[in-house]
Amino acid sequence: MNGTSDKTALVQAAEDFLAAAKAFNGDDVMARAGLMKHADHLRLLVEDPFGTIMRQWDVIHLTAALNVLTSMGILQRVPREGSIGSEELASAVDIDESVVQRAMRIIVAQGIALEPSPNHYVHNAKSLAYVTGSSQYFFKMVVDQDEALTSLPHYFATHSKQDLTDIEKTPYAFSKKMEGSTYYQVISADAERLEIFNHTLAHLEEQHPVLGMFPFSSMKAHVEAEPHRPFLVDVGGGIGRVLKSILQEAPNGFGAEVVLQDRAEVIDVVDRDGIPDVTLMVHDFFTPQPVKNAHLYLLRRILHDFYDPACIDIVKNIASAMGPTSRLLIGDCVVPEKANMGDDFFVYWMDLTMMVIGGQEKTAKQFTRIFDAAGLELVRIWPAAIGMQSMVEAKLKA
């Protein structure tokens, strides 16, 4: 840093962080995200150019250490209660003890697990996240995607510009030596990859809930006035986690039908007892929408998987079923028109991830172009309180 203006910015960032820290109660997810944003802004102001490079080195080594510890089953063998030594852990997985010690040093220094005495380890909440719940699958997805991200220079050197938007020539398929298959075909061909994908979606829904943007409860009077029309069609809705959240705000769909659509292999594993009053329907969103004149159609984390031509086809298929008062809701990030230091990193990470698998996060202008080409018009963007996640609302052109 240099100059009075830089110091003024640093002090202001520190004061903003302090104010957010004093207001933080330790529980609210959105408040935590806001606090982290202040902390990131403060760090970016302090960090010098070489410090930025060192941070990348740090992340690479942390990921490598955690990958060894989890893929070898080492971290999973740390007991939930009490401690265990590096010698016992190394013997259990038949690996050199120094590997355990060296990898554990890296994660302990980052606050992941604890070392109460030399070379003896205990879990904390952060280390448990790598071996329990849906977050463990999210980390596996991170490692899986890292292979594709690392291969990007080789991909661009060996492919045309047009290949990037070809859903059968994605960087992900290239990294797995499966070009000629779409991303979903690649992951569906491997049971473990498909399991990781499904659990990762569940984790993202936990971290980025669907509620708090579009006011689903405001539909009550409209739906009750026309209960013969389906309340909501969740297109490509997975196993129904998003739908379950929406039904908390709109109990029983306000008396109208609620429909969950996805591929056959997904619908087959839906917990029917968990959403007993929901109609399950096998549907390919690249074909015309069979449910007509619903109050709401939802595409949650679908359009970001594709570039504009495919998005236009998907939206056209829904538009063909919409009535005059139907609404299409797009649950995706909305990318700022201009990047600024301190922006929510998640949206840019996601955009690069989408590039790897054959898609793109979109700006408001891009959504508007897609709607216009599909015969719709933008009504409103309903943003989340923190971050770039939004509900983009569209209707048939007047």
Q: Give the residue numbers marked as catalytic.
A: 304
**Distance in angstroms (rounded) separating the CA atoms of residues 97 and 142:** 26
> What CA–CA distance (Å, rounded) separates 72 from 93?
7
Q: Residue 48: what are its φ and ψ, rounded to 5°?
A: -90, 170
Q: Which of 331, 302, 332 is nearest to 317 (CA)?
A: 302
**Rounded distance between C-alpha atoms, residue 303 and residue 54, angstroms:** 35
Pairwise CA distance, residues 78 & 73, whole Å: 9
At CB < 8 A and 24+ separation, what contacts does 173-182 make? 174/148, 175/147, 175/148, 175/150, 175/151, 176/147, 176/148, 182/358
Helix or strand run (H / E) with residue 331: strand 327-335
Tokens 């929408």, located at residue: 289
CA 113 – CA 66 distance, rounded (Å): 11
- Longest Cα–Cα distance of the chain, Å, equals 71
CA dist 164 and 355 (Å) reads 8
